[in-house]
Structure formats: C-alpha cells, structure tokens
Amino acid sequence: MISLFSVFFRFDGILLLGAGLPLTEIAQPTGSGSVADAIFTTNNVWMMVATALVFIMHLGFACVEAGFTQAKNTVNILFKNTLTPVLGIVTYAMIGFALMYPGLFNGFLGFNKESWHLIWLNSGAADTSAGYADGGYTFWTDFLYQAMFAATAATIVSGAVAERIKLSAYLTFTLVYVAIVYPIIGSWKWGGGFLDELGFVDFAGSTIVHSVGGWGALVGIWLLGPRIGKYNNGKTSEIAGSSVPLATIGVFLLWLGWFGFNGGSVLSADPGTVSLVLVTTTMGACGGAIGGHFTSMAAMKRIDFGMVLNGVLAGLVGVTAGADIITPLAAFFIGGVAGILVVFSVILLDKLKLDDCVGAVSVHLTCGVWGTLATGIFGEGASFIAQLYGVLACGAAATIGAFVIFYILKVTVGLRVDPHLEKHGLDSEEHGIRGYTILLEK
C-alpha cells in the first residue's frame, strides 16, 4: 500500500517535491509500486477530495437559499435542494455523461453507449482505470466529479424561482435540463466539440456551468412572474429572509467547495497548478467582497451585508473560467469588477420587475459572462473573440432550451402555485411541517 506521505515526500529514495518537478514529469513507470503508481494514486485521491468539496456545495446552496427566503417556505427550499443533487446525479448517469463526452469510447450519434454501460453495469475496476485519461485517474472518479458539476447547474435555478414555483415543475425542469441541455452545451468545450476547436477557454465553468444555470434562472423568473407583494405601485418591496446567519454559513460552505470546484478542474494533483488555482480562486472571492461592499454603499446608501455575501460568490464565479491562466492580481481585479457588477445587476433586475429571490441571475449569469470575457483579456493564450463567441453560443442554447422546457410545463401542468399557497407558505400547505417552530402569519 502506497502511503500519501511517501507520495508527497519520498518514494524509493526519490525526494519528489524537493526535486521541484511537476508530478507528471517525475518518472516513468518502473513496474509494480513505481513512482508512476504513486502519482496515479495521488491524482486520483485529490480528484476524489475535490469531488467531496463540490458535493458539499449543495449544502451551501441550500443554506443560502433558505437564509435569503421566508421562513414559511424553508422546508420546501430544503426539499428542492436535497432532490436536486439526487435527481441530477441519476439523470446525468442515465443520459448526461454519455452525451457530454461522446468521444471517450467512440460514441455513436453523440451518445456514448460504452460509458453508459460502464456506469451502470460494471462492478470491476481494472477495465475502467487502465489507460483512462492518460492514466491520470479512474473512470469512476471522472464520472462522479462531472456529475457534481451537472447538478450544480440545476441548483442555480432553484434559488431564483423559489417561493412560488410548483415542486413538480421545478423537478421536471431539473431532470430535462441536466439530462439534455447542460451536457450538450458542455460537450462543445469539454467533450472536444466545436468551441474547444475554436480555442474557447472555460477552465471550470464560468459559462458552461454558471451562466448556463443563470440563463435557465432568468427564463424561469420571467415566465413565473414576481412573488406576491414584491412590486407594488412602481416600487420594490423588500421581502426579508429567514436567517442571515444561515445565508452566511452557506456562502462560506460554497467558498470552501470552490476549492474543489476549481482545484479539481486541474484534473491532477500537480502542486504548482493546483496551488495557483487555489490562490486565484481566493483572490477572486476577496475582490468580489470588496467590490460588492463599496458599490452597495455608493448605490444603496447603506452597508448591505447581503451584497458582500453575493460579492464573494460573484468573484468566485468570475475567476472560474480562467483560474489556471491568470495572475493573482488579475484574479483580484476580475473578482472586484464582478462584485461591482452583481450590485448593479440586482438593481437592474428589480427595475425590470424580474424577481430573483437570492440574486442567482446576477451572481451566476452576469458574473459568469464577465469572467468568461475577462479570461480573453487577462488569460495567457486566450482569445477575446473566441470567448465572446462561446458566451453567445452557450447563452443562446441555454436560453432556448430553458424556454422550451419551462413553456411546455407552463401550458401543461403549470409553473406557479396557487396564490393561497404562496401567501400562507409552502411548508404547511404542501409538506405539512415547518422549518422553524415559530408562529407564522395567517
């Protein structure tokens, strides 16, 4: 058994980190128990740790959404955020992964039948590991890591449409969006499609994950309409959330998860690249918080803590596209601009009477687009024209896909709950329990 200690410090008398070489260049295979085996184990373990970090982001999304929405809908919020990764992972396993990576095993007509077979019907490890990803990690690790990303795209939509969407409509949207829309768009870059050939850069998904989710959220809030009482007589009314501490916990969980979201996207444990990515990720978050704070003070004439929290997330989304090819200084600037943009985006949506409960569109769409374009400006080797083309192509596909799904649901089963349910709260009316043991308004 190869210990992680021997992998990181010394293996068969070779000082790995002391040599100052990247893990991929240290040695060639020398047989059983070789340095190459140690590198493979280290890479795979790091990928699994990153998968766990991305998974915990779903708890972060649940906390943010529950904290920023009303107490009377808490159970409904938590129910959606629990079922989203459950349905997202299963759906991605059934259809999404095979659509997103059609060329891994010479897939037919854009659907990889062999990868589907491996996911569902193979209990062995040998034929899913040997030679996969140039020996970097196992097939199982790759699938599970990518499945966490897929479910994240759907979770983004959940917060925007909260407190008035039918549970059945939301879950149906999640199934179709994760099964078809997200993987097809993802295949254009990560599956070796035309955007990849064009030179489009999206390291960990500012566009492919975040803005794809953001476009779906924007279409959803447009077709749903605002919550009752949000806009009256031309004025925007504040609908207080249930728990600022819970929302804060959620943001820090998301920040923690982003180390796996971006760090795992290196697809190896190469210390130089992973370290850089973690630094640029952190600097983006810090820049976003600062940008959100000062912009909200200037624009709203108050110290708005919610904008600081959304600024953190905005900065994280902004640096995700180019975290491996930008400097820490550029990351801080990109995050800072994202923090500024998220404030003005929230203000603009309210002027347009587009009710986004948690600022999901502003964080993930607005800042996802900005971060992708900024990579074309600050990213080493990236092309602004290619970045713009990718933003437009992915945005058009995501918008059309989301509109078709939501509109079909609207004219069939309906999107919105009855006004009575919305007024009295979805917890008591639909779930029969409350998230908090407090007296809610009748």
pLDDT in tens, the chain (442 residues): 333 333 333 333 333 333 333 334 333 333 445 887 888 889 999 999 999 999 999 999 999 999 999 999 999 999 999 999 999 999 999 999 988 987 654 433 466 777 777 778 776 654 555 457 776 788 888 999 999 999 888 899 999 999 999 999 999 999 999 999 999 999 999 988 899 999 999 999 999 999 999 999 999 999 999 999 999 887 889 898 999 999 999 999 999 999 999 999 999 999 999 999 999 999 999 999 999 999 999 999 999 999 999 999 999 999 999 999 999 999 999 999 999 999 999 999 999 999 999 999 999 999 999 999 999 999 999 999 999 999 999 999 999 999 999 999 999 999 999 999 999 889 887 888 888 875 444 4
- Rounded to whole angstroms, the Cα distance separating 43 from 114 reads 24
Q: Is 389 exposed, middle or buried (0-12, 13-18, 19+ CB in 10 A)?
A: middle
Total count of domains within the chain:
1
**Structure token digits, residue 404:** 């078709």
Predicted local distance difference test score (pLDDT) of residue 17: 32
For residue 128, the domain's CATH number is 1.10.3430.10
23 located within any domain = no
Question: Backbone phi, then psi, for 416, in 5-degree steps?
Answer: -110, 145
233 located within any domain = no
Question: Cα dihedral sign for 113, 116, 121, 122?
Answer: positive
27 located within any domain = no
| Residue 399 structural domain | 36-227+242-431
Contact 37, 126 (CB under 8 A): no
Predicted local distance difference test score (pLDDT) of residue 349: 97
Q: Read off the DSSP letter of residue 228.
A: T
248 located within any domain = yes
Predicted local distance difference test score (pLDDT) of residue 145: 95
- Rounded to whole angstroms, the Cα distance separating 165 from 158 reads 9
14 located within any domain = no
3 located within any domain = no
Predicted local distance difference test score (pLDDT) of residue 18: 31
391 located within any domain = yes
Q: What angle do CA 280, 59, 161 make, to 5 degrees?
A: 95
103 located within any domain = yes
Pairs from 130-139 (Cβ < 8 Å, separation ≥ 24): 133/267, 135/36, 135/40, 136/40, 136/43, 136/44, 136/267, 136/268, 137/40, 137/43, 137/44, 137/47, 137/267, 137/268, 138/44, 139/115
Q: Give the CA distances from residue 171 to residues 83, 150, 427, in Å, rounded to whole numbers and listed in that order.
A: 8, 14, 17
